[in-house]
Amino acid sequence: MTGRPELQLDLAGVPFALIGGIGPLADAVAAALRANGAVRTKTAAASLLIVTHPLLPTEPHLPQSVPDTVVDAAAAMAAAGGGRIVFLLPSLAALPARRFPELSQSSAAALAAMRGLAMAWAPSVLVNAVGVGTVYDADLPISGDPGFLGHVPLGRPGRLAEAVAAVLFFADPANTYTTGQLLAVDGGWMAGYGRDF
């Protein structure tokens, strides 16, 4: 992602933290949050927490549970009056793929954990997820599997900025009535079988 983010928010002084996997999407999200005025801090002091899970089938993907640090962060946010947690998950969290049973299972577990957190910490903490499909940074896939592109109704990989915009949507202070949701950024892959026969 280059230049200013397309979505402009007023996040001046909002403390944020990232935990989990690192990579181009996490880096781009951090850059976009900083560009909108947020300040990176330690997890315990964050009022906005980004939790990244493996996004590529080639990354290690053991069954996921919510790390204690996420639960502790939610408790600290609630004690401070509120906050937001956004999970970055592969779209396989909501629609498993036969080729990737382990990643599908671990991602679905993370999605269920996200929804459990949303119920446990409402109404003061909003907890949501972005389900990232096949997204490229330059010419390299940073999430998903290029083999899925034949089933994507939009007929192309997603762009890094498109995935970042979904995270910014959940971070937007104006977004106050959305929790426990997965927003798919996958070109319609989860909408149905997009392949022509």
Residue 46 sits in a domain whose CATH number is: 3.40.50.720
> Is residue 52 one of the residues assigned to a domain?
yes
> Is residue 197 one of the residues assigned to a domain?
no
On the 0-12 / 13-18 / 19+ scale of CB atoms within 10 A, 176 is: exposed
> Is residue 196 one of the residues assigned to a domain?
no
> Is residue 165 one of the residues assigned to a domain?
yes
Read off φ and ψ for residue 153, nearest 5 degrees. Answer: -55, -35
> Is residue 30 one of the residues assigned to a domain?
yes
Read off φ and ψ for residue 194, nearest 5 degrees. Answer: -95, 10
d(CA 147, CA 156): 11
Domain that holds residue 106: 15-187
Split into its structural domains, the chain has a count of: 1
Q: What is the pLDDT along the chain (197 residues), one digit of tens a residue?
A: 444 446 789 999 999 999 987 899 999 999 999 999 999 999 999 999 999 998 988 877 655 567 789 999 999 999 999 999 999 999 999 988 888 888 888 899 999 999 999 999 999 999 999 999 999 998 899 999 998 898 899 999 999 999 999 999 999 999 999 999 999 999 999 887 655 54
Alpha carbon distances (Å) from 60 to 54, 102, 107, 130, 137: 7, 10, 12, 19, 20
